[in-house]
Structure formats: structure tokens, C-alpha cells
Amino acid sequence: MIENARSLNIAASVILLAGMLYILGPLYLTLATASQSYEFLLRNGLAWYPGDQFFNNAARIFTETRIPIQMLNSLAVAFSLAIATCILSFLSAYAIVYFRIRWAGVAFALILATIMLPVDIRVITTYQVASNVFSPVNALLDVTGLNGLIAKAFGAPVQLELSVLNTHFGLIAPLVAHGTGTFLFRQFFLTLPKDLFKAARMDGAGPVRFMFDILLPLSRTSFAALFVLTFLSGWTQYLWPLVASSTPDMQTAVVGLARLLPDSDGEVPDFPMIMAGAVIVSLVPLLMIALLQRYLVQGLVLSEK
């Protein structure tokens, strides 16, 4: 189709330019300031051009703050979150789509509902549950009166206690309880031809064999997309890691970075060092986006359908 749409193309170019400036501007200023000294900041304010102090500032992040250890925490949290989400979502979607079970619809609805209320909203009570993961069991024993019987028979009621706060498991588990992955795999399974299933059965494949030899290899792209998506979301979480970790060595890098900002508006904070921290903390996820962008975009589009 040949058509003269010059005015529109020019307008579109200007818009895209402005959009990229909006995204890149703050990132550039971060990088430029991270490479200047504190004295430079006090004298000139925000740096418009890069200097030569970046490695100096970065070295101070590595020696004076807990961010190196916190980066390892972030890596552990994001990686295990992504792996756990991939495996559990795959298994549950497999059960929901490929088995004749009456409760499939209910299970799927229960899983899907988790998308509506993210952990940031239910943080107060999620914290309470994490402080004793057996509290529901205790409550159940109390309510059913079983504990009364046990108390009569053994002298004391059952009160189990196990806190997962300030552990890696506690940091990850509430974030795994999210339905996007199951949704994504279910959508993918439904697009696969039914003949595939019939052929596999005719060849004598049972449920386990079908899952490992046919479904798993076919789902490679979905796995990659979901992995990238959840890894990024794990790395960028803030509120839950903030409350679930009580020692600096257990916090994630993003939380540690935010702690570098002073709480009060007193003197000008050491922004060059903090910005160097922001660069270091964002490096891993940005690198991931640069390398695996195809999967990220795919994941975003798939999680919507």
C-alpha cells in the first residue's frame, strides 16, 4: 500500500523519540552521576556528563555496604522463584488440562484468583502466617475440638510452631503462590492439537511418559518466557522482602539499595555512591532483558491472553 503519510510518520518519530528520552533520560543521569565524585555533586548538582569516578563509587558499594551479599540473596530468590514457579505451574496446568477430573474447573479458578490480590495488599496477614506456618493447623485443631481431646489425653494441646521469616524459603514461598504461570501453560496446552495426545496414547505412552517425552520438549519456549518473567519479578520485589527479612544479610539487593537513602531531608545524601548502587543492582535484570528480550515480550503477551 503506497500512501503519503508524511505528517503522521514525522509525528510518530517525534513521539518515539520523546518516549525513549523519557526512559533513557533517568538511566543516563544515573550512570553519569554514578561516575562523579560527591564533591562534584555538591559543587555542580546533577551531572550531565560522565566522569571517571565510577569504579571508585562501585568499589565503595562493594566494601562499605551489604549489597554484595544482598545481590547473592536476590539471585537466589529470583532464581528459585522462577524455577519453582515453572515446575509447579507446569504440573498443575498439566493436571488441569490432561486428566478427566471433576474438580479441574474449581482448581483452576482457585489458582487464577491469586492474580487479583497481589502480596502487597495482603502483606500484614501473610506476615503473620509466615511467622508460624503451622498456625492454620493449630487453629483447625482448636476449632474442631480435637485439641481439647488431645489436651485431656496427653496433658497439653498441640501447638506447632515454625517461622519461615528471615529465611530464603520465606522470602520465596508467598511469591510462588501466583497463578500467572498456570494460566500461561494452560493456554499453551489448549493450543496443542488433540491428535498429539491420541497418537501418544496409541503408542502406549502413560501420563508420566507423555509429560516428559512430549509435553516438556514442546513447552520449551513457554518455560523460557515464564522463567524470564518470574525471574525479573523476583528480582524487583520490594515490600515482601522488606518485611520478611529482619537482618541486612537476609535482605535482597533492591531493599538494601533503598536503605542507602537517608530517612530525613538533612544534608545532600551521597548520591554518586547510591546511583552506583542503583546501576549495580539493576545490571543483572537489564542484562537479562537485553539477552532474552524475545522471551520477555512473549511472556508478557502470553500472560495476557
Partner 1 sequence: MTSESTLFSNRWLPVLLVAPFMLLIILFFYVPIFQAFYWSFFLEQPFGGGSMFVGLDNFARVLSDREFWQAGGRTLVFMVTASSLAVLIPLILAVAADRKIRLSLPARNVLVWPKGVAGASIGVVFAFVFNPFVGILAPLNKAFPGIWAPGIDGTDAFITLIAAHVWSGIPFNFVILLAGLQSIPRTMQQAAAMDGAGPWRRIFDVQLPLIMPQLFLTLVLEFTESVTSAFALIDTITHGGPGGATTLLVYKIYKDGFSGYDLSGAATQTAILMVFVILLTAAQFVFLGRRINYER
Q: Which is nearer to partner 1, 224 or 258 (CB)?
A: 258
Residue with Cβ nearer partner 1 (153 or 193): 193
Q: Does 191 bind partner 1 (CB under 8 A)?
A: no
- Cβ-based nearer residue to partner 1, 56 or 131: 131
**CA proximity to 29, closest of 275, 270, 297, 257:** 275
User: Which of 72, 110, 146, 149 touches partner 1 (CB under 8 A)?
Assistant: 110
Measured CA to CA, the distance from residue 205 to residue 291 in angstroms comes to 37
Is residue 177 close enough to count as binding partner 1 by CB under 8 A? yes
| Binds partner 1 (CB under 8 A): choice among 52, 117, 155, 191 | 117
DSSP conformation class of 264: S
**Binders in 128-157 for partner 1, by CB under 8 A:** 128-130, 133, 136
* Minimum CB distance to partner 1 smaller for 184 or for 296: 296
Q: CA-CA distance, 237 to 232, in Å (whole number)? A: 9
Output the smallest distance, CB 93 to partner 1, in A.
9
State which amino acid sits at residue 244.
Answer: A
Among 35, 53, 182, 219, interactor with partner 1 by CB under 8 A: 182
Single out the segment in contact with partner 1 by CB under 8 A; choices: 40-48, 49-57, 148-156, 217-225.
40-48
92 binds partner 1 (CB under 8 A): yes
Is the CB of residue 130 less than 8 Å from the CB of residue 174?
A: yes
Of 229, 237, 228, 287, the C-alpha closest to 258 is 237
Strands (DSSP E) found in 153-297: none
CB closer to partner 1, 153 vs 305: 305
Residues ≥6 apart with Cβ < 8 Å to 29: 46, 47, 48
The 3-state DSSP class for residue 284 equals helix
Instruction: Choose which of 271, 273, 276, 295 interacts with partner 1 (CB under 8 A).
Output: 271
Within positions 58 to 87, which residues make up the interface with partner 1, using CB under 8 A? none
> Is 156 exposed, middle or buried, given 0-12, 13-18 or 19+ CB atoms closer than 10 A?
exposed
